[in-house]
Amino acid sequence: MRKPTLRFRLIRGFLFIIIPLALFLYYENYYAMKVVRKEVSSSTSQVLSIHIMQIDETLENITHYLLKQIVTPASESDYLAMETLPESNGDYTLAKLKIHAELTAGSSAFENLHSFFAYSAGKKDFIFSRSSYTDTTNVKLMLEQYLKEQGQDLDGRWQVLFYGQESYLVRILQANSDVCIGAAILLEDLISPLRGLDYGDQWEAILLDSSGQPLTRTAMPKETMSALNLKLLDNPQAFQVFENPADSKKYLLVRSPFQQAPISLAAMISEKSLLQQLPFFQRVIYLIPIGLLISFYLYSNSLRKMLFGPLSALTAGMRRVMKGELEIGVKDAQTEELSFLIHTFNHMVSQISHLKINVYEEMLKVQQSEFKRLQAQINPHFYLNSLNVINSLSTLGENELINKMTGHLADYFRFITRSHRDTVTIEEELQHIRNYLEIQSLRFPEKLTYRIELQEELRQVTILPLTIQPFVENSIIHGMEEGIPFHIDIAVDGKAANPGCFQVLIRDNGRGFEPETLARFNRHEFGDGTGSHMGIWNVIERMRMAFGGRAEVSFINAVPKGAIVRLIIPEGEALHETEDKSC
């Protein structure tokens, strides 16, 4: 069956516009008011939603700033000093000054923020980003009462707190066991920009809690506020019509919740001011069909010259190309867009007639590019922990251990910077792992031990960089148990079933695999390469690209406890081997 032409579709679409507009003339004025009310309501709701989204974004940015304060090493050490040092200690005072400076600098980025603060529960000591006594007294009293009631049960979400006639939006996060940090926003400051919107004289914007009670000041009578609350509870739509019992006038009631906080914005706008231009549109709407008929005549002639003619020529040219006729040329069009399309088509046909593409070569380039991308994904996860260990050793004056740590770390980085190579020897890979384990041994003294065995004739056998290390790292991260010595064995030998392959065994005495995880791993289900098992997924994906089906990975639980990972790797195979052989 032949498909409809573009000409037919355009004319049909144009008629579908004219006919409903003509029928629209016979509708009552009530329908017009309903449509305008709905559109204006939707528009108003969208405008208010944009303001709410901006406020939500500000709240989210404040949360990110607080989280950054907790995890940044410099800030973390200051909060630790605030927890552990006595108030008479000079370092305690210095830490407070640094925290105050950081919070003050951060508060300048948030326009509606009342204050950032930090609080030590043990010392009952507050630090505010605002230095004014008047600005912080009420907030301090309010927070002291709240923290006394909550104790250590801080849920870390935005909460609405009250002090006197004022309402505050507060979020508190635990920096450590004694110190918490947070932000306080005066809700009156939060809503003040919204009250500057121009929706006529008779309009009101207020913030409500989850039960519909007002959180900000309002000029509405108590009777109106009660009726509005009942209306929202009975019919919590985004926008609706509300009749004010105080003046018997109809208002548009719009409500939109915040995503970041347990509050919502309600706005009440006079319906009369919104619909005052409706009679003008009613008169204009009678002239629309006449104008549309004239426009349709001019529109169809213009389309025929500028669109249908060039498109017909272009379509005919495409049909000829489909038949293999490449020595063709389509006549230029009058419009810039179609002229560009026709020029591109003619140029494409000219290229096709002369261009030869080697598909295998292109596929190889793409696969090699993907291989390099996967190899580049592997990054050390313990940079920060290593620096923290060096910092701790420096504090303790352990210079010999610092020299040892930095030496292993330098060798580790040196290997990582050279991991862009296609292959490394097994000896180099195991030396890199030895550096990694020595660094981890300094992090977990008297807890982590290891043993590495390498068959002599396999020392110079080449493998993909970072093939074994991710499994060792995964063993330590997921296998080490609290307070229990952890030992890991790594053995490389030629005991694989096929003489052309060798095996790598990684065994530990940790907690082992969960049954569900073990089953999933042996089905080679490691996610999409972005989760907690990214390193394992990366190794398997690179080996698949390099060796096809010849490389194997298996996972088992050791007896009585622990985990075993077994790798079967071809010796010195080139990339993209066929999959008809197996190790």
Domain boundaries, the chain: 1-277, 288-357, 377-570
Q: What pLDDT is stored for residue 9 in this prediction?
A: 73
Q: What pLDDT is stored for residue 374 in this prediction?
A: 44
Q: Is 446 left (phi over 0), alpha (psi -120 to 50) or beta?
A: left
Angle subtended at Cα 142 by Cα 141 and Cα 147, rounded to the nearest 5 degrees: 100
Which of 226, 252, 223 has its CA nearest to residue 237? 252
d(Cα 220, Cα 225) in Å, to the nearest integer?
A: 6
Which of 530, 580, 578, 526 has its CA nearest to residue 553? 526
Residue 483, φ and ψ in degrees, nearest 5: 75, 5
Q: Which CATH number fits domain 377-570: 3.10.450.50, 3.30.70.20, 1.10.150.120, 3.30.565.10?
A: 3.30.565.10
Q: Which CATH architecture has domain 1-277?
A: 2-Layer Sandwich (3.30)
d(Cα 441, Cα 488) in Å, to the nearest integer?
A: 12
As given in the structure block, the two tokens for residue 105 are 């600098």
The HSE-up count of residue 360 (CA atoms within 13 Å, CB side) is: 1
Q: What pLDDT is stored for residue 357 in this prediction?
A: 43
CA distances from 314 to 304, 317, 362, 420, 464 (A): 14, 5, 31, 49, 52
As given in the structure block, the two tokens for residue 205 are 């914007």
Q: What pLDDT is stored for residue 236 in this prediction?
A: 63
Q: What pLDDT is stored for residue 360 in this prediction?
A: 46
Below-70 pLDDT ranges, the chain: 1-3, 5-7, 21-22, 24-34, 36-37, 40, 131, 133-134, 152, 198-202, 233-239, 246, 271-289, 326, 353-386, 389, 393, 396, 398, 416-420, 496-497, 528-532, 572-583
d(Cα 318, Cα 349) in Å, to the nearest integer?
A: 9
Look up the pTM and report it: 0.42
Q: Is 21 left (phi over 0), alpha (psi -120 to 50) or beta?
A: alpha
Residues 497 and 490: beta-carbon distance below 8 Å: no
As given in the structure block, the two tokens for residue 392 are 């701790």
* Residue indicated by tokens 């801080």: 154
Q: What pLDDT is stored for residue 110 in this prediction?
A: 87
Give residues with Cβ within 8 angstroms of 202, minimum separation 6.
249, 251, 269, 270, 273
DSSP H helices in 72-221: 73-84, 90-107, 133-150, 187-191
Q: What pLDDT is stored for residue 582 in this prediction?
A: 52
d(Cα 270, Cα 220) in Å, to the nearest integer?
A: 13
